[in-house]
Amino acid sequence: MVRIEVDEVRCNGCNFCVEFCPTSVFQLVTAQGKKVARAAKPEECWACNACMGQCAQHAISVMQDPAPARYLDAENKVPFTPLSEGEKQAYAAYAQSLERVLKLRWQPVAITLIPYGVPLPHVPTPRVKLRYCQALIIARRGNSLLMTAEYHSCADGTSILGLTGIPPKLASGDVYIKLGKVASLEAAKRMVSERLTLPEKSIRATLVTPLAAAVMKPDVVAVMAPPESMMWLCLASTFYTGRRHTFRMSSYNAQCVETTLFPYTTGEINLSLGCYGCRATSDIGDDIMFMGIPLSQLPSLVEGLERLGKKAIPDSRAKIYLPPLV
């Protein structure tokens, strides 16, 4: 599925690809009197594109031959139980409210982390390996994707979400220093050890769908929108309580940790500004941030949002207190 080519004329043997590849695919060899990189273990490649991105000589091509989408539910030992019509209507109504009141550009995304032993829904796999954040982009545009570990291309996100273990190079923190994300090994180790991570192989697949077309009960609903919309979502979530939020935002692992796992494990909404990975590998605009809403919070949040949409939101958006310019 993944093919790696190194242009040995361009390659200057700088060793960057060897250092950056999380799964140690490359090794330097001597060919025609100079050091060049070779993909010695191409079968280990996750298609994360880190090597391509870091090679200053543009010598590396990582290509994925698109395969036909698959439907993994054929492997179910127990048949999948579809949502009831009432549940489908409820999720579609939540999506409709969020989009209408906030005038969202992107559809809210239903996220389900499917553990082992739970039947899989009839949703296609992607035709190439994708990062979790890329799958969310596809879902916010209206498509649904089911991804077991073999369809995930980000070693970080895949291990964080409990589909695999973490590769040693990432566990040691080494790669994060090379990427220029942290100053020292100590900081990198702290960043890794303090992030939420689900136990290795506790999750069999990630499912992302537009909320309006959810096929399974979502664990978390993700909204991608500008800060002003996030402000209203924050207000909506405390419309009936007036309490204040404490968000966990570090800008490390924005989609997997901050948007998904914080709401998933705490039952609280969480905001995220995005991270190096999701912004470097996707079309997310500079003006977009993220919120993860646990399903348990969604009904009251949507109810609060509808109330805000009657007066506070239109008043504020109409800038009713803006004094006339003199």
Q: Which residues bind ligand SF4 (CB under 6 A)?
A: 4, 6, 11-17, 20-23, 25, 37, 45-51, 55, 57, 59-60, 62
Residue 61 gets which letter from DSSP? Answer: E
Of 29 and 185, nearer to ligand SF4 (C-beta) is: 29
Q: How far is the CB of 176 from ligand SF4 (least distance, A)?
A: 14
Q: How far is the CB of 16 from ligand SF4 (least distance, A)?
A: 4
**Which two three-digit tokens encode residue 189?**
């180790």
Of 35 and 100, nearer to ligand SF4 (C-beta) is: 35
Q: How far is the CB of 177 from ligand SF4 (least distance, A)?
A: 16
Ranges of H-type helices in the chain? 16-20, 50-54, 85-102, 132-140, 155-160, 168-171, 174-178, 185-193, 227-237, 262-266, 276-280, 298-308, 312-317
H or E, element range at 272: strand 270-272
Q: How far is the CB of 169 from ligand SF4 (least distance, A)?
A: 10
Of 175 and 236, nearer to ligand SF4 (C-beta) is: 175
Largest CA distance in the chain: 74
Closest Cα partner for 301 from 83, 101, 136?
Answer: 101
Q: How far is the CB of 326 from ligand SF4 (least distance, A)?
A: 58
Q: How far is the CB of 127 from ligand SF4 (least distance, A)?
A: 17
Of 97 and 153, nearer to ligand SF4 (C-beta) is: 153
Task: Answer yes or no: are the C-beta atoms of 170 and 23 closer than 8 Å.
Answer: no
Exposure class string for 186-200: b at 16+ Cβ within 10 A, else e: eebbebbeebbbbee
- CB under 8 Å to 207, separation ≥6 — which residues? 110, 111, 112, 113, 114, 121, 123, 144, 145, 146, 147, 215, 216
Of 11 and 302, nearer to ligand SF4 (C-beta) is: 11
Cα gap 268→245, rounded to integer Å? 9
Q: How far is the CB of 39 from ligand SF4 (least distance, A)?
A: 6
**Burial class of residue 326, CB neighbours in 10 A (0-12, 13-18, 19+):** exposed
Cα gap 47→39, rounded to integer Å? 12
Of 4 and 120, nearer to ligand SF4 (C-beta) is: 4
Of 6 and 215, nearer to ligand SF4 (C-beta) is: 6
Helix, coil or strand: residue 62 = strand
Four-residue CA torsion sign, 106, 266, 156, 173: positive
Q: How far is the CB of 8 from ligand SF4 (least distance, A)?
A: 8
Of 25 and 207, nearer to ligand SF4 (C-beta) is: 25
